[in-house]
Structure 1
């Protein structure tokens, strides 16, 4: 790689990113989120993604900008620019997807991109996925952009190694689970939600989405310290998980937010019963280093297909009812 082609300003930006990445520690999903955001900024792109290989598919495991709403999306590796990138182990540039027969045009149009760069992510000598930057404009990227991205892909590959070197679990599992609580993260939540939605459409089944916001985390952190706050989040995750059926999914979506996919609920009474069960479990006493800590949460829900049949609509409905509960409820556990 010819570093002379990379401007000093870009090199300083990349060094800054390296510092930010190092501060993430061993949180691989956090590292990937940060890299996509900074990669988009450095290349003046409209979006960026990290897509990890899962069998014969690539899964959007981190995304920013125009790619963010496709988090969890699965695409076949075959007959795509990403597939060729993985096979050849080199960076590939598509100036105009409409004129490029290597790309999956249908998927590109779905996302809304017209040009892109794809780079292989190599971990322990295996290609485990791709780093991709996207633009709504044709001919947005050039060879200099590739130079910058090669430095970024090398950075994330190194951090993958650091995050995984003491772990026996596979990379995909590490990248799709929250490092603090051990439950699935935002990426896997959307992956499973898309799969559940497709199954429900196909079989005309019902399912529910619950969004949950922990009450009082800031106060716990301010009064008792972040170790107590982390312990409360870990306990909350464990209690939510213990309240669910095996077919359900609970994920930490970020900060004090959690999401639940209730795979087998059939109506509003069923999903309200589940919320009540979770609330009862959370209301049990909890103490950290001798200090009692109340575990409380505001919960909202949406039911497929009564509240909608599109992912974004269902999430918006669940979030809206959750914020209404958070704002207006007078006692824990009220379901609107």
Structure 2
């Protein structure tokens, strides 16, 4: 590796990224999200992903830029550039996917990429995942970009290996569950949502997507401190998880946002009844270290297939429904003042 060909500016960026990754500690989801954001930036890419191996498939477990909407996507390892990279244990570059027989052209076209670099994340001779940077333009990446990613990959792999504690099953659990609340995270939510969507299309079944936004978290943090805020988030997660069916999924999507896949609802009456039940459970009295804290949430939904059949459309409609509820609650508070 000819490190002298990498500019001092890029070397400083690499050091900064490595420092930030190390500061994530054992938060595997945090490590992967940071890696996608920083590798996309440092290579001037249109997107990036970290993919984990599960049951012969690569799962988009963190994603940024043009890859973000494919979070949770599963692709077969065989007949892909990532699979070849894993087998050879070396970085690979595709300058033009249309002329490269090593790549899964169908998957590349679905994502909208025309060139990419894939780098295996190897620690102690074990491949713990793949980091991939993507561009909409053919010929975007240069050999310098490969060297940059190689320099970063060793520490990234080591930090991921430490976070997963040597076990593949533990790796996938940590990568798909929120470290604060213990419920599934954004990655697993989209993974399960894609699977549920495909199944419902085949079997013509309805299901619901619920968007839940915890109200007043900033006020709790400001009034009682961040420990109280964390306790409130955990309690909302516990109460929500306890209010849904076993076939349903509740996930923390980030911050004070939660998502629910209501797998068993058949119509609007059923999903509205489920929302009322969740809302009532969240609103029950809660105390932290002797302080009574009011828990509130704004909850909206979308129903497959009445509100749409595409993932992005359903997510958008559920969010719009939730924001309308939030606006209504704000109007009520203003009217009371």
Superposed, 1:65-80 pairs within 5 Å as 65-80=65-80
Deviation at 1:17, TM superposition (A): 1.4
Superposed, 1:1-336 pairs within 5 Å as 1-165=1-165, 170-329=170-329
8 Å CA contact retained: 2:163, 2:171:
no
CA distance in 2 between counterparts of 1:172 and 1:143 reads 31
- Deviation digits for residues 287-316 of structure 1 (CA, Å, limit 9, x no counterpart): 111111111100000000000000000000
CA distance in 1 between counterparts of 2:299 and 2:24 reads 29
Q: 5+ residue gaps in structure 2?
A: none
Deviation at 1:168, TM superposition (A): 9.3
CA distance in 2 between counterparts of 1:317 and 1:269 reads 17
CA distance in 2 between counterparts of 1:281 and 1:136 reads 46
CA distance in 2 between counterparts of 1:273 and 1:91 reads 51
Q: Which moved more, 1:49-58 or 1:168-177?
A: 168-177
CA distance 1:239–1:166, change in 2 (3 Å): farther
Deviation at 1:30, TM superposition (A): 1.1
CA distance in 2 between counterparts of 1:168 and 1:58 reads 13
CA distance in 2 between counterparts of 1:289 and 1:41 reads 43
* Equivalences, count: 332
CA distance 1:139–1:260, change in 2 (3 Å): same
CA distance in 2 between counterparts of 1:181 and 1:222 reads 20
- The residue matched to 2:48 in structure 1 has which SS? strand
Deviation at 1:115, TM superposition (A): 0.6
Deviation at 1:186, TM superposition (A): 0.4
8 Å CA contact retained: 1:35, 1:152:
no
Deviation at 1:65, TM superposition (A): 0.6
Q: 5+ residue gaps in structure 1?
A: none
CA distance in 1 between counterparts of 2:192 and 2:320 reads 21
Deviation at 1:243, TM superposition (A): 0.4
Quote the RMSD (CA, aligned, Å).
1.5
CA distance in 2 between counterparts of 1:82 and 1:161 reads 19
Deviation at 1:124, TM superposition (A): 4.6
Q: Using structure 2 for the length normalisation, give the TM-score.
A: 0.95
Deviation at 1:33, TM superposition (A): 0.5
CA distance in 2 between counterparts of 1:286 and 1:307 reads 35
Q: Which moved more, 1:295-304 or 1:9-18?
A: 9-18
